[in-house]
A and B are shown apart, each in its own frame.
Chain A
């Protein structure tokens, strides 16, 4: 399946050099849910989320470095480190909502750290996407709803990130001298990963009844 693409936004870039660290569970996000006791939907976002955020931050900031799970942030130069994660995922089918639409809700969390690992902010983004079934099959409609939810998240992040996180202030230097919190940044997303990650895939694989459709 094609990765969702974010069009180049009409905005002025934020003058910050950022690093983006994609947690492993974020990059391999699979959500399995049984609907109404019969349909089983498996939604695998795969690498779509990682590609989506890399693309988005590339448009928003002066420069972006993508850090892998094993990369040491101290080896790189940046003003701020952003670690996205998924706090929650839900979807509804036409059978559940008594409508002709699939809907997807994704709750992202943006954890922002300064250049030495102090947590600057933690911001929740609630995104929503809806797609009419029409000629599309169930899987395609759910996939489209998930893509629209991701675009919704992108729009929210573009419009509100500066106001919610004051990330541009980090271009002036770290918040405070290096502290013990820097270990949390180096350790990666371990603290964040204590929360269960729900997985959603844009590549929707329908259940029993979806095959019948």
Chain B
């Protein structure tokens, strides 16, 4: 009995919900990363209505830097603090037109050079639950407990990364990830979660495409 429960749990973690994803990029200029150069990942400002999750930004940072082909990533808070107050949510440049004036401010160009930052990647978008349904009931008593029913939900993760080249003071292009995942939770005494890790898939997909885009 214990073995069959373990088997059910093992199968549940092995399975996942349904996911569809689309990753695209639009190149505007030549890119490339030399030795000693880095990128920084930033979330577009909430002053512009953006709601990119902090843990998604952290996921992208880790994914870009991981592995043998990882690229050098400067932590975003370090970048913001070193360039205070020019990359705060209110003051960060909204487009590349403001970059030349920003780089002319006292100390900014030196700080960027010292950190070795070549590209700034601005993340925009978020993950939202767009649909859900079904019902699930759980009960427990002295003799035991269990759940019965079926629930499902669909999450959409829609993100765009705008890549700015600080050497050329211009946009290098954009990379986008649009991932939709449906999770299921059937329960016959024991719930068997079939979770679509939508945001995680969007993170890995976007990071992979970003690495290819930047390194070329």
Contact = CB atoms under 8 A, between A and B. Distances in A.
Contacts of B81: 7
Contacts, number: 51
How many of chain A's residues touch chain B, expressed as a range? 20 to 34
Contacts of A12: 106
Interface string A146-162: 00100110111011000
A132 B51 contact: yes
Contacts of B86: 10
A195 interface: no
A148 B80 CA distance: 12
A42 to B, nearest CB: 25
A132 B108 CA distance: 29
B114 to A, nearest CB: 12
A130 B90 CA distance: 11
Contacts of A135: 55
B5 interface: no
Which 9 pairs across A and B sit closest by C-beta, in order of nearness?
Answer: A155-B85, A10-B107, A7-B84, A7-B81, A155-B88, A130-B46, A155-B91, A158-B85, A9-B84
B90 A156 contact: yes
Nearest to B77: A7
A155 B47 CA distance: 14
Given A130-B46, A132-B51, A10 B88 contact: no
Is the contact region of chain A dominated by helix, strand, or loop, or is it mixed?
mixed
A117 B118 CA distance: 49
Interface of B: 46-47, 51, 53-55, 81-86, 88-91, 105-108, 111
Contact of B111 (A10, A158, A159): A10
B88 A134 contact: no
B106 A155 contact: no
A99 B53 CA distance: 12
B91 A159 contact: yes
B156 to A, nearest CB: 16
Nearest to A156: B90
A154 B85 contact: yes
Residue among B81, B90, B106 facing the most chain A CB atoms (10 A cut-off): B90
Interface string A88-107: 00000000000101000000
Interface string A1-25: 0000011111110000000000000
Contacts of B107: 10-11
9 contacts: A7-B82, A9-B84, A9-B85, A99-B51, A101-B46, A134-B53, A152-B88, A154-B85, A155-B91
